[in-house]
Amino acid sequence: MKAEQKTIVKFKDANNVLYNVEIEITHRNGHPEFTMSGEGNGSMGQCDDSIKPKNSQQKRLLELWNKYHLNGMNKGTPKQTEMLKEMEKKTAYDYDKAKAYLNSFDREGKPITNFDLIKIEQERKDIQERIDEVKKEIKILEEKAEEYKGQGDCWIVVKDLNIKEFVNGFFGAKQFFKKQILIRNKKLEDLKELQIKAQEKTLLYDYGIDGKLYQYGATWHKVDLPENLWEEVEQLVKEIGEIEELSKAKGGSWEDITDYKKVALGKYLDLEPKEAEEDITTDDEEIYNYCGTDYYVLTEDEAQDKAEDYLGDELWQMAVESGNTELGKKEWVEYVISEDGYGTTLNSYDGTEYYDEDNKVYIMRC
């Protein structure tokens, strides 16, 4: 197996939101597979739609993300995927909606009238019913062939197919069923050709890289990666990092910042004073935001009050009813906090907490 390639890039977009993006090429599924995921502004995973690029490098990175992410797991062909982008400008993606949308265009991307679409759907239905009928006949013949296996001169009767015929010789029955099955297999091939022609009439069906016609969503489609993709990724990551370093606010003095909680969070995030002053904001003096990410910055009393509010009557009553505690509410809250800390209760991100000894505050992700 080829070695995996992985890198991480951090940057602030045009809205000054900080994103942490992981980029990787793996070879787990027998081919190079490109994946990207990010975190920022309270979102994780496929957050590329939230990023507003502030330079050409970020814009290009998003283009690669959009075009090649999970290149081995596309529901549709490139043509189908491109067409669905127009649908998603008007409505949220839904699998059934996507199929109906593709089915309303021909293979050139031209709209199909409802009248013509009804005719196409009826044609497809009729052909499928005929295919199912021929398959059923073949199955009946195969079962009958086993029943007549090894017989000599005899009458062959297949009531379901309205067949009654006399055959001679030890191999007469075998040859008879072989011929009947071959006739139907040929008919089946002809019907499948007609089915392909009917399917080709809308973009719900398109050809994969293997030259076969597929219905959208019926299988995964692989998009080949450019040979120099990883080299381009590494160059973009390098350039974005350089731009971020040059544009970062530097210098300043912690003594000039009057909000001690902003100082605590700035030091916790390893920022320089000027960057902390510019990029950390707050509305209620308990929740502070740094470039799209919220943090609790709480004194001991504030953390205690917030934890008590969160634990509340309902959770205590549930603990009592389930037999997990015999303590009163106040004692139970004190016990939970003493055992688990504030982070487990208040930090929904990873359950951790950090205590700043100098400023006497707890810092946690919201």
Tens digit of each residue's pLDDT, the chain (366 residues):
467 899 999 999 999 999 999 999 998 777 889 999 999 988 889 999 899 999 999 999 999 998 888 887 778 888 998 899 899 889 988 999 999 999 999 999 999 999 999 999 999 999 999 999 999 999 999 999 999 988 889 999 999 999 999 999 888 999 999 999 999 999 999 999 999 999 999 999 999 877 889 999 988 888 888 999 999 999 999 999 999 999 999 999 999 999 999 999 999 999 999 999 999 999 888 999 999 999 999 999 999 999 888 887 778 888 888 888 888 888 888 888 888 889 988 998 999 999 999 999 999 998
Q: Is residue 92 part of a domain?
A: no
Is 290 in the same domain as 358?
yes
The SS3 call for residue 36 is strand
- The residue range of the domain holding 255 is 249-365
Same domain, 258 and 238: no
Smallest CA-to-CA distance from 174 within 146, 134, 139 is with: 146
CA–CA separation, 192 and 5 (whole Å): 43
- What is the per-residue pLDDT for 219? 84
Q: Is 107 inside a domain boundary?
A: no
Q: Are residues 119 and 170 in the same domain?
A: yes
Residue 27 and residue 119 in one domain: no
> Residue 1 gets which letter from DSSP?
-
Residue where one domain finishes, among candidates 180, 212, 247:
247
- 292 Cβ partners below 8 Å, 6+ apart? 15, 16, 17, 18, 40, 41, 42
In a domain, 108, yes or no: no
Q: 3-state SS of 50-89?
A: HCCCCCHHHHHHHHHHHHHCCCCCECCCHHHHHHHHHHHC
Task: Work out the end-to-end distance of the chain between its first and last CA atoms, rounded to an integer number of angstroms.
Answer: 41
Q: Is residue 180 located within the same domain as residue 254?
A: no
Residue 261 sits in the same domain as residue 301: yes
> Same domain, yes or no, for 350 and 262?
yes
Neighbours of 228 (CB within 10 A): 9
Cβ-count burial of 151 within 10 angstroms (0-12 exposed, 13-18 middle, 19+ buried)? middle
pLDDT of residue 50: 92
Structure tokens, 166: 């006399």
Residue 358 and residue 254 in one domain: yes
For the chain, what is the domain count? 3
pLDDT of amino acid 178: 95
Adjacent-strand bridge partners of 8: 22
Same domain, 315 and 344: yes
CA gap 183, 163 in Å, rounded: 14
Q: What is the pLDDT of residue 2?
A: 63
* 242 and 262 together in one domain: no
